[in-house]
Structure 1
Amino acid sequence: MPLKLRWWLHACFEIEAGGKRLVIDPHDGGSLGVGFEAPMVVADYVLVTHEHYDHNAVEKVSGKHTVVVREETGDFELGPFRVRGVRLPHDEFEGRLRGFVVAYRVEAEGLSLVHLSDLGRALREEEAEAIGKVDVALIPAGDVYTLHPRQALEAAEALGARVVVPMHYWLPGIQLPLEPLDELLRYAKKWRVVRLDSNTLELSREELPSEKTIVVLAPPRKGAATLEASQAM
């Protein structure tokens, strides 16, 4: 079965596999700017990479039986998802300015992906080894509050990712002082760029691209609680 990845804006992603939904870093919509909506999903599991207000609105995606995991390091399982949490600094001063985040590596349906959260400096070799090789990397692209976009792409390469999905960048209406996606794409000369008209991507090991590919997902349609999966790559 393919793995479904949905982007709910900013750093919030939903991973669907084995009939279960895992959400990482939910926001409340309004914390991003006027007119933005919270993720429209009820999660079976929620991972929080760090306790900043635009990453930890678990109440917006939680139901009666939702399991919430906050900043957990090490290896653990959540239903069909095998998860590894690795602690990383949120700034270039080894966490002294903004503290730490937990990058989550998630394995499901024969694929592995990593959510690098708000990593604040270049990924080090020992940190890449701790995370392990991945097929897909979700990387911050907005520069401010996180590492430079060039360093984000270098981190994806160090992890062996064949697919990169940018996140945490400025869109019209967002009030956070982030850079737009073009800032990252300036440094993506070695990458193929594919833009989808959906916030959903289906992935399977058999259909992973042979060349390094950046997949730009579209913002979710307002009021659409369920979106059809986009065509598989």
Structure 2
Amino acid sequence: MEITWLGHACFKLRGRTASVITDPPGKKTGYTIGRPTANIITISHDHEGHSNIKAVTGSPRVIQGPGEFEVAGVLIKGTHTFHDQENGSELGRNTAYVIEIDDLVICHLGDIGHVPTAEQVEELSGVDILLAPVGGGTTIGGAAAAETVSLLGPKLVIPMHYGTPASKDKLDSIDTFLKEIGAPKAMDERQPKLSVTKSTLPQETKVQVLEYKGSS
């Protein structure tokens, strides 16, 4: 499977039988994702920076909210979380998705605003690759993201939703997260995209930074 970061909380997951786009951003975020093609779109919440469905071509199936789904051989489970630390009273609900594609289990946390509860950790368990917000603001920041990684125990962590030259949101840089998780040199090993299989996963948790690529 191939993973490309299109910016903000948006990734393209390209498997053998299907492609998934997560949280396509609107232009106000500062990211331009082009016109990517996908079979499936997952939407963590309906804020403009995460729900630009019209940007994606290919007549994709749109999944938004908790539940279990199967599309084109891809299994998806949505777990209810919150966009803030006050049970959603400030920013509303968020859905974290577990996506099974090409024998890999990927978790996209969306704009989660709190460290997952014990019940949520159980629902999100068994993850190979974690796509986690780390920039604070309306989501968890570096320290909470590092704690979340410790709770979920993925083999790979790909940071998202942090301050970059392209981003117009007021977000922290990736540096705090990398310091908290003990991976200060991860930026030196960043890649434009990641090709990964079950057999190539690292034995211990590794942070893999991807370069923003605003295209299909």
Identical-residue share of aligned pairs (%): 27
Distance in 2, matches of 1:160 and 1:191, equals 19
Change (3 A) 1:123 1:191: farther
Give the Cα–Cα distance (whole angstroms) in 1 for the partners of residues 206 and 101 of structure 2: 20
Alpha-carbon distance between aligned partners in 2 of 1:180 and 1:68, rounded to the nearest angstrom: 30
* C-alpha deviation, 1:190, in angstroms: 6.6
Q: Aligned partners of 1:192, 1:203: CA distance in 2, in Å?
A: 21
* Matching residue within 41, 58, 62 for 2:57: 62
Give yes or no for contact 1:191–1:212 (8 Å, CA) kept in 2.
no
Which amino acid in 2 is paired with 1:140?
Answer: P
Deviation at 1:131, TM superposition (A): 1.8
Q: Structure 2: give runs of 5+ residues left out of the alignment.
A: none
Task: State the Cα distance separating 1:193 from its structure 2 match.
Answer: 3.0
Deviation at 1:125, TM superposition (A): 1.0
2:22 partner amino acid: I
Mapping of residues 7-156 of structure 1, within 5 Å: 7-28=5-26, 30-33=27-30, 36-63=31-58, 65-71=59-65, 73-156=66-149
Provide closer, same or farther for how the CA distance between residues 44 and 216 of structure 1 changes in structure 2, counting only shifts above 3 A: same
1:170 matched to 2:167: no
What is the alpha-carbon distance in structure 1 between the residues aligned to residue 120 and residue 208 of structure 2?
24
Deviates more, 1:149-158 or 1:129-138: 149-158
If asked which structure has higher relative contact order (CA below 8 Å, sep 6+), I would say 2
TM-score, normalised to structure 1, is 0.87
- Normalising by structure 2, report the TM-score: 0.93
Give the structure with the larger helix fraction: 2
Separation (CA, whole Å) in 1 of partners of 2:34 and 2:106: 20
**Contact between 1:153 and 1:188, CA under 8 Å: does it hold in 2?**
yes
Structure 2 CA distance for aligned equivalents of residues 57 and 190 of structure 1: 32
Per-residue deviation at 1:211? 2.1
Q: What is the DSSP-based 3-state SS (H/G/I as helix, E as strand, rest coil) of the residue aligned with 1:43?
A: coil
Q: Structure 1's 41 and 190: CA in aligned 2 closer, same or farther, altered over 3 A?
A: closer
Q: Distance in 2 between matches of 1:201 and 1:190?
A: 18
Q: In angstroms, what is the RMSD of aligned CA positions?
A: 1.7
Secondary structure, aligned partner of 2:86: coil
2:198 corresponds to: 205
1:165·1:214 contact (CA, 8 Å) conserved in 2? yes
Aligned length: 215
Q: After TM superposition, give the deviation of residue 39 of structure 1 in Å.
A: 4.1
Write the distance in 1 (CA, Å) between the matches of 2:55 and 2:92.
24
Provide closer, same or farther for how the CA distance between residues 47 and 173 of structure 1 changes in structure 2, counting only shifts above 3 A: closer
Between 1:48-57 and 1:167-176, the stretch displaced more is: 167-176
Name the CA distance, whole Å, in 1 between partners of 2:151 and 2:126: 8
Is the Cα contact below 8 Å between 1:26 and 1:39 reproduced in 2?
Answer: no
Segments ≥4 residues shifted beyond 4 Å: none
1:12-57 deviation line (CA, Å, top 9, x unaligned): 01111123211110013x2113xx4224411111111100000000
Tell me by how many angstroms 1:91 deviates: 0.4
